[in-house]
Structure formats: C-alpha cells, structure tokens
Amino acid sequence: MRKLIDLLTRLITFFTPRRFRGLVNHETVSFLFIGGLTTLVSLALFALFYYVFGLWVALAGILSDVLAIIFAFFPNKVLVFESNQWHAKVLVPELIRFGISRAFTVILGIQALVLLVDVLGFNAMLMRFLIIVFVHVLGNYALGKWLVFRNKGDEND
C-alpha cells in the first residue's frame, strides 16, 4: 500500500502547481485515498439504507457514518497518520478521540443533510456526497491530525 501511495503522491505532485506542492505529501495523499474508500463505503451504505430499505434520511446517514467510521479507524491510524503504537495507553485514547471527533462531524453532516434534503428538497445522494467532501473530509483531516493522532512518534515502548 505504501508504494501505491508514494506513486500517487509523485503523480499528483507532478500535476500540482509549484506553490501548492507543499500540501502534497504521503499523509495528505493517503488520507484522501483512504477517505475515498471510506466515502465509497459510506455512500453505498447510505444508498442501501435510504433507497433500498427506505429509512429516514437522518437514520440512513447516521448508520452509514457509524459503519464508515469503524471502517476508517485502522487505515487512518496505520497508513495516514502512522501511529503504530498498539498498547492500551495509546490505542484507547486514540479510539475515544477518533470516535468523538467523527461524531462531531457526523452531527454537523446529519444536520446539514436534513436541512438540505428534507427542508430544502435537494437531491439526497448529491447532498450526501457534498457533505462528505466538505464536512467529513476536511473536518476529519484537521481533527485527525491535531486531535486524534497527535502523539505520532512521541511515545516510547
């Protein structure tokens, strides 16, 4: 997986204007890659819950978010933020911070989804996608970097 991310990083860097190349690194590219996979999981589950099972838009969003969060924790820990500490004094706080930070973006996203779909009448899948991009991806990266996995490299076994 590391080689794939490194290849993607070099490719994206090549097409990125010089002034923005500082933003392109292993961490940001791997976050976007894992985030893309997580988005696919979330969108597929949302479509299943909302369109197939006919659940209320907020419930479909919450269920798909919870399952996507479970899916996202370990790849974010290991591949994105390279937090390779597995003892309880590191893992448990990371899990708690990850859950709380993701719950925060889920709450914001569900409120936006209900407003945009139920109140304003916009297309559910389009709004779900836009909320994932602008609320979940940006918010989760910032929270993951500065709150959840902030101790990377600080702990000694």
* Angle between helical axes of 2-15 and 26-47 (0-180°, round to 10): 100
Compute the average pLDDT of residues 43-69: 93
Identify the pLDDT of residue 83: 84
**Predicted TM-score (pTM) above 0.85:** no
pLDDT in tens, 7-33: 989 999 999 899 988 888 888 899 889
21: tokens are 């190349």
Percent of the chain with pLDDT over 70: 95
CA distances to 2, 42, 46, 112 from 117, rounded to whole Å, are: 39, 17, 14, 8
pLDDT in tens, 110-152: 999 999 999 999 999 999 889 988 888 888 888 888 888 865 4
For residue 66, give the H/E element and its range.
helix 57-75
Encoding tokens for residue 27? 């961490």
Q: Comparing 44-48, 51-55, 72-76, which segment has the lowest mean pLDDT?
A: 72-76
The whole-angstrom separation of Cα 42 and Cα 61 is: 8
> What was the pLDDT predicted at 64?
93
What mean pLDDT do residues 86-114 have?
90
Spans of all domains in the chain: 26-148
